[in-house]
Amino acid sequence: MLDGKTAVVTGAAKGIGKAIALAFAKEGCNIVLNYHSSVSEETIQEIEACGVKCLPVQGDVSDFKFAGDLIKQAKKEFGSVDILVNNAGITRDMLLMRMSEEEFDCVINTNLKGCFNMVRHVSSVMLKQRSGSIINMSSVVGVMGNAGQANYAASKAGVIGLTKSTAKELAQRGITCNAIAPGFVETDMTAILSEEQKAAMLDVIPLKRYGTAEDIASVAVFLAKHTYITGQVINVDGGMVI
Ligand code: NAP
């Protein structure tokens, strides 16, 4: 179903983003792989070994102009932009009382404004195409809140509002927009947590295992294939939020 389509994945050099890029490549999609600091040659080769093309593009999604250039490059290289996965994200955890303005702003700028920037620019391409699938990475923390993550929770709750509004605005042209809310996935982002913090997490996961990047990637592929699901937040969290 996705063979020959173009998927743009932000923050795709590692972790969940890399797994998503690979999952779409296995479905036959050409990949526009946005990375922030660096991407390994092996990652590009792994994607191209699926028999598709991979265009790596370095840049910061919180930069409105860069987001526009990324979409332009994708369209120029592959002729269409069928799937956009807004995966790029950061944390700067701190208790609210001690959180600096910079810690709040940079998380909002990357996670929420970055997502807006990409949706804003891809929407004109998808509106002309009269098709497209946008998948935004939220988090269970955006649904539940979390002590020490007021900035991150606000950004991920904002992503949910952005997703639902985008779904309503673009539905008339056959474009879907959904969010995925992962629970605890073992990546570099969660590697900074202590063993005690990780054990406490496991305690509140009914399925008693951490998520994998592939658990999230398979749901992104599912959402891109289903043209009658829009405006939804899919929790992929082992039952953390029931
Ligand atoms: P990760 O391993 O830290 O990967 C995040 C990626 O985003 C990195 O490649 C990073 O690149 C990139 N990135 C950061 N700032 C960027 C920017 N301004 N522009 C472009 N790319 C940028 O984290 P992950 O666990 O795979 O997380 C992926 C997404 O899932 C994030 O949105 C995260 O909030 C969400 N999520 C993760 C979990 C979890 O448990 N892991 C749970 C819920 C939601 P650099 O390293 O080069 O900066």
Q: From the alpha carbon of 138, which atom of ligand 1 is closest? A: 44
Looking at the DSSP bridge assignments, the partners of residue 54 are 31
The pLDDT of residue 43 is 98
- pLDDT on residue 134: 99
Give the mean model confidence (pLDDT) for residues 207-217. Answer: 98
Per-residue pLDDT band for 230 (boundaries 50, 70, 90) equals very high
Angle at 236 between CA 234 and CA 241, to 5 degrees: 85
Q: Is the distance from the beta carbon of residue 30 to the nearest atom of ligand 1 less than 6 Å?
A: no
Place of tokens 């001690």: 98
Instruction: Check residue 200 and give its pLDDT.
Output: 92
pLDDT, tens digit (0-9, with 9 covering 90-100), for 2-20? 999 999 999 999 999 999 9
Q: What distance in angstroms lies between residue 104's CA and the mean position of ligand 1's atoms?
A: 16
- For ligand 1, the distance from its centroid to the CA atom of residue 90, given in whole angstroms, is 5
CA 99, CA 108: separation in Å to the nearest integer?
13
Q: What is the pLDDT of residue 68?
A: 98
- What pLDDT band is residue 50 in, cutting at 50, 70 and 90? very high
Percent of residues, the chain, with pLDDT higher than 90? 100
pLDDT for position 38 = 98
75 — pLDDT class (breaks 50, 70, 90)? very high
Helix, strand, or coil here: 42? helix
Tens-digit pLDDT profile for residues 146-191: 999 999 999 999 999 999 999 999 999 999 999 999 999 999 999 9
Phi/psi for 98 (5° steps) reads -110, 0
Q: State the pLDDT confidence band at 46, using cuts at 50, 70 and 90.
A: very high
Give the nearest ligand 1 atom to 63 CA: 18
Residue 13 — φ and ψ, nearest 5°? -75, -20
Q: How far is the CA of 39 from the centre of ligand 1 (A)?
A: 13
Determine the Cα–Cα distance for residues 157 and 142; give it in Å rounded to an integer: 4
Backbone φ/ψ region at 46: left (φ over 0), alpha (ψ -120 to 50), beta: alpha
Question: What number is the average pLDDT over the span 94-117?
Answer: 98
Pick the CATH number of 6-234 from 3.40.50.720, 3.40.50.970, 3.90.1150.10, 3.40.1360.10: 3.40.50.720
Domain boundaries, the chain: 6-234
Given 35, 152, 210, 228, which residue is catalytic?
152
**What's the mean pLDDT when you consider all of the chain?**
98
pLDDT value, residue 7:
99
Q: Is 152 a catalytic residue?
A: yes
Going by alpha carbons, the residue nearest to atom 48 of ligand 1 is 36
Q: pTM for this structure? A: 0.98
Q: What is the pLDDT of residue 119?
A: 99
Q: 144 pLDDT band (50/70/90 cuts)?
A: very high
Cβ–ligand 1 distance for 152 under 6 Å, the answer no
Per DSSP (E only), the strands in the chain are: 6-9, 30-35, 54-58, 83-86, 132-137, 175-182, 233-236
Given this model, what pLDDT does residue 113 score?
99
